[in-house]
Amino acid sequence: MLKKIVIIGPESAGKSTLCEQLAQQYETTWCPEFAREYLLTNGTNYEFDDLLTIAKGQLALEDEYSSTMERQSLSFLENGGHIPLFIDTDMYVAKVWCEFVFGKCHRFILEEIVKRSYDLYLLCNIDLPWIKDELREYPDLATRKKLYHIYKDIMVNQSVPWVDISGDYEQRLQKAIIAVDDLLQ
């Protein structure tokens, strides 16, 4: 059975790095964040409706990776194994971004939050140093803390198991491995 594990949190919290490390650890793949490619291609001056396009692109990418993994791993699944798919962001991230930047959220995103099913969330804390890149918008610690607490409130108020991931890169990886191993057993 395919187990979907979502890595979420504020920008520059190590989500993509953790996805890549976990995919290597479990000899599987990970679904990247669609927004990064979209913004690199279309520019960083996005509007409210761009976030809907990004959300739909993220879901299409996730569905593509899920479908591919399910087809490639049928024999493993038939033997009772579990295969993890690591997903860099989901509709909660789209919701937070819509509401934080524009003060409202697309109904489509809210409906997809209800429809989609995941097995585990790994919430990346903001205790890593900020790494500047052309897409990141909020380097100040106060805003990063605020965003982290928004994500944590979401995790506390939903039903999927979740783990707070903090520490240096190695500590984060080890915490994530423990959580994933527990899920897969």
pLDDT digits (tens, 9 = 90+) for 94-145: 999 999 999 999 999 999 999 999 999 999 999 988 777 766 666 678 999 9
Give me the percent of the chain exceeding a pLDDT of 90: 77
**HEC secondary structure over the chain:** CEEEEEEECCCCCCHHHHHHHHHHHCCCCEECCHHHHHHHHHCCCCCHHHHHHHHHHHHHHHHHHHHHHHHHCHHHHHCCCCEEEEEECCHHHHHHHHHHHHCCCCHHHHHHHHHCCCCEEEEECCCCCCCCCCCCCCCCHHHHHHHHHHHHHHHHCCCCCEEEECCCHHHHHHHHHHHHHHHHC
State pLDDT tens for residues 29-39. 999 999 989 98
Domains and CATH numbers, the chain: 2-184 (3.40.50.300)
Q: Taking residues 80-106, report their average pLDDT.
A: 93
